[in-house]
């Protein structure tokens, strides 16, 4: 989920039906400045109805030098973990430069990145993105996949895309967007069939 998607209130309602300890709460913050992130984190916790955000990601990073430019923001997130407000943190990347920086920086524990078998809606070709993600995973970072269906472009090839992602051996979890419940059911049915 993410603040900019307006999903926090819906998630809060869902938590009324699922025990909190069975859910990993991941959200993304768009704000770039330290003061804004601190304020957003408090608002997120209230909107979601939880004391702790399990994973907080700095959302949609594109700058090659985000670790240098966002040091104060990263410090706020690190301090939030020390206070028990956040369990883990990381980034979602939207350029090869930002992804390379995430892999090399010791700060992010989690990297959310686009991955599929054709490169649809990815930062570059799979041949260039995959080695970076593997390197990050080898360094101990959690790798989360997104855009598995390439923003719908690969909806008819979802079996191939899922198989490609699972076969890499470094994607720890992934997220997909759905427009209908039948789409969700269809993909859930395919996941077990294509797992390597």
| pLDDT, tens only, 139-195 | 999 999 999 999 999 989 999 999 999 999 999 999 998 889 998 898 998 888 886
Domains of the chain from N-terminus onward: 3-194 (3.20.20.100)
- Please state, in angstroms and rounded to a whole number, the distance separating the CA atoms of residues 154 and 167: 17
Contacts of 106 (CB under 8 A, 6+ apart): none
Over residues 43-101, the pLDDT tens digits come to 999 999 999 999 999 999 999 999 999 999 999 999 999 999 999 999 999 999 999 99
What does each C-alpha distance from 173 to 36, 62, 99, 135 come to in angstroms? 29, 22, 17, 17
Average predicted confidence (pLDDT) for the chain: 95
- pTM listed for this prediction: 0.95
Is the pLDDT at 39 greater than 70? The verdict is yes
CA torsion through residues 37, 175, 167, 125, sign: negative
Burial class (CB in 10 A: 0-12, 13-18, 19+), 98: buried
Q: Over the Cα atoms of the chain, what is R_g?
A: 17
């Amino acid at each position: 989920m993410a603040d900019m998607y307006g999903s926090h209130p819906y998630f809060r309602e869902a938590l009324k039906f699922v025990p909190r300890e069975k859910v990993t709460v991941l959200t993304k913050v768009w704000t770039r400045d330290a003061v804004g992130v601190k304020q957003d984190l408090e608002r997120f916790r209230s909107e979601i109805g939880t004391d702790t955000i399990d994973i907080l990601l700095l959302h949609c990073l594109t700058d090659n030098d985000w670790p240098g430019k966002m040091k104060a923001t990263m410090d706020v997130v690190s301090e939030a973990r020390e206070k028990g407000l956040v369990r883990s943190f990381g980034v979602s990347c939207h350029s090869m430069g930002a992804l390379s920086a995430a892999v090399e920086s010791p700060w992010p524990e989690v990297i959310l990145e686009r991955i599929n078998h054709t490169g649809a809606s990815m930062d570059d070709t799979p041949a260039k993105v995959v080695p970076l993600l593997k390197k990050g995973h080898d360094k101990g970072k959690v790798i989360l996949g997104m855009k598995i269906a390439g923003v719908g472009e690969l909806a008819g090839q979802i079996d191939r895309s899922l198989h490609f992602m699972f076969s890499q051996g470094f994607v720890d979890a992934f997220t997909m967007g759905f427009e209908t419940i039948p789409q969700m059911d269809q993909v859930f049915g395919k996941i077990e069939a294509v797992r390597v």
